[in-house]
Every structure is written in structure tokens, then in C-alpha cells.
């Protein structure tokens, strides 16, 4: 087990361009200073229409049922994000590496497009932390225990990736960086009279997820509640306290 470590998850907006990734790198640098070790989970860059977004990639083979081919193609977005981020971290002098596929340790069944995690092997991650302060893994994906094919964990699956690692690595906290200050009382894009919720329980988070704006993936929230994984939902752009989720 790695002591004094956290997990950070960065979504498509955080990864979409160099200026946002500059903020990501600053967050990672601060986390390394404070927590010594950081596991970073990344989503594919941007949203549909941007070159490497998952939906853009899947538009290359439209109207195709979930399969080996669609999961391999859609997994590429997170692989690109992870590769680019590690290259940029190294340019900043931050000792980091990337783990993916079987080395990342998330082993699943073969339900392509919405795979279930069969078990998690963190041995390669623990080994990497013996050398590196920061380990970056592509979210949303695993490897089939039967065929070693790439599989994906459903829409929003990078959230599940982060929470699962948080549990198995016994992280101090799993941080989710968003384009909002944290969990709000209502959708800030449609209602200006909103307030930040500083603390909420897992049960309260489950209720918020049922609203139109999904705070984090439902499977991720359920896993966090089941295993009491502490969560911190916060802004990429502002130095605010965000929302803490725990029992």
C-alpha cells in the first residue's frame, strides 16, 4: 500500500486544450507537494466534434453495436489524454509515468460498452510509485480477463476508474475537478440563485445524481458509498473548498 497518496480525476473539459492542462499540471504539482504520491485518472479530450473526444471517435463507425472494435476505438481517447499529459508533466520536471491496459490492473468481463470489473490488481501501480511521484492512467477502460481485449466501463466510466483506485489504493481522498465550484443546490446554467453544498453524505449524492445534471457517474457514486471512499468535488479554475462527500 502507498501511504500519503490521493487520486485525482480530470474530465474532458480539463484535458481539452493546453491552457486547461496547464491548470491540471498545477493541481498535480500541488498534490505531489502535499500528499507525496498522486494517481491521476484522465478522460478523453473535449466533447463530440473535438478531434479526440470519445463520441467523435465512435462517429467513425456509426450505428455499430458495442463490440471489441468499438471498445478498442473508444479507449483511444483516454490513451491519447494520458500520453499527452505525461509528456507535459515530464517537460515540467515532474517525475511521472503512464500505466495502461493490463498494467493498470482493472480486469473486467467481456460486456463491451458497459463492462463489469471482476478484480483489480494494483501491483504494477505500487511498483511504479516506488520510482515516480505521479502515475497517470487512462480512465473508462479495463482489460478482459478472458482475452486481454480492451473493454470500457460505460459512459462516465472514468469516474468509476478513479473511485475504484481510491478504494484499492486506500487513498486519502478522490478529487474530481469540474468547471463548477462543487456540487450546487441546482444547475447553475439554468438557475442563478444557487449555492455551493460544502458537505454531503453518500445518500445525498445519490439523490443529486438523479437530477438532470449528473455530478459523477452513478456506478462510481454507488461504489464510493459501498466502500466508504471519501470524495472531493471541486473546481479546476478556482481555489475554493468544493464539496466533500463522506459518511
Nearest to 233 by CA among 223, 247, 246: 246
User: Quick one: how far is CA 51 from the chain centroid?
Assistant: 20
**What is the distance between the alpha carbons of residues 39 and 132, in angstroms, rounded to a whole number?**
10
127 or 211: which carries more pLDDT confidence?
A: 127
Q: Using a pLDDT cut of 70, give the percent of the chain over it.
A: 98
**Looking at per-residue confidence, does 240 or 188 come out higher?**
240
Q: For 56-91, write each residue's pLDDT tens digit.
A: 999 999 889 999 999 999 999 999 999 999 999 999
Q: What is the mean pLDDT of residues 195-218?
A: 87
pLDDT band at 4 (very low <50, low <70, confident <90, very high): confident
In 3D space, the residue among 167, 158, 166 whose CA is nearest the CA of residue 214 turns out to be 158
Q: Which residues lie closer than 8 Å to 17 by C-beta, 6 or more apart?
A: 45, 46
SS3 state at 224: helix
Q: Average of pLDDT values for 38-62? A: 95
Q: Does 211 score more than 80 pLDDT? A: no
The SS3 assignment for 225 reads helix
User: How many residues would you count in the chain?
Assistant: 247
CA distance 25 to 34: 14
Q: And the C-alpha cell for 36?
A: 507525496
Computed over every residue of the chain, the mean pLDDT equals 94
Say what the pLDDT of residue 213 is: 65
Amino acid at each position: 500500500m502507498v501511504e500519503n497518496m490521493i487520486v485525482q480525476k480530470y474530465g474532458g473539459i480539463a484535458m481539452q486544450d493546453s491552457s486547461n492542462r496547464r491548470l491540471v499540471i498545477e493541481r498535480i504539482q500541488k498534490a505531489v507537494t502535499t500528499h507525496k504520491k498522486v494517481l491521476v485518472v484522465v478522460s478523453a479530450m473535449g466533447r463530440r466534434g473535438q478531434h479526440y473526444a470519445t463520441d467523435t471517435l465512435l462517429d467513425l463507425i456509426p450505428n455499430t453495436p458495442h463490440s471489441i472494435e468499438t471498445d478498442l476505438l473508444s479507449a483511444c481517447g483516454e490513451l491519447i489524454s494520458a500520453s499527452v499529459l505525461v509528456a507535459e508533466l515530464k517537460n515540467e520536471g515532474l517525475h511521472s509515468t503512464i500505466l495502461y491496459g493490463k498494467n493498470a490492473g482493472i480486469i473486467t468481463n467481456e460486456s463491451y460498452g458497459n463492462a463489469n470489473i471482476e478484480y483489480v490488481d494494483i501491483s504494477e501501480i505500487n511498483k511504479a510509485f516506488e520510482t515516480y511521484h505521479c502515475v497517470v492512467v487512462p480512465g473508462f477502460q479495463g482489460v478482459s480477463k478472458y482475452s486481454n481485449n480492451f473493454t470500457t466501463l460505460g459512459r462516465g466510466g472514468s469516474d468509476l476508474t478513479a473511485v475504484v483506485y481510491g478504494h484499492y489504493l486506500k487513498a486519502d481522498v478522490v478529487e474530481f475537478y469540474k468547471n463548477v465550484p462543487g456540487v450546487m443546490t441546482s444547475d447553475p446554467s439554468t438557475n442563478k440563485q444557487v449555492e455551493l453544498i460544502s458537505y454531503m453524505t453518500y445518500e445525498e449524492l445519490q439523490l443529486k445524481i438523479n437530477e438532470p445534471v449528473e455530478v459523477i457517474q452513478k456506478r462510481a457514486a454507488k461504489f464510493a458509498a459501498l466502500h466508504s471512499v471519501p470524495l472531493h468535488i471541486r473546481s479546476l479554475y478556482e481555489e475554493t473548498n468544493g464539496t466533500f462527500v463522506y459518511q
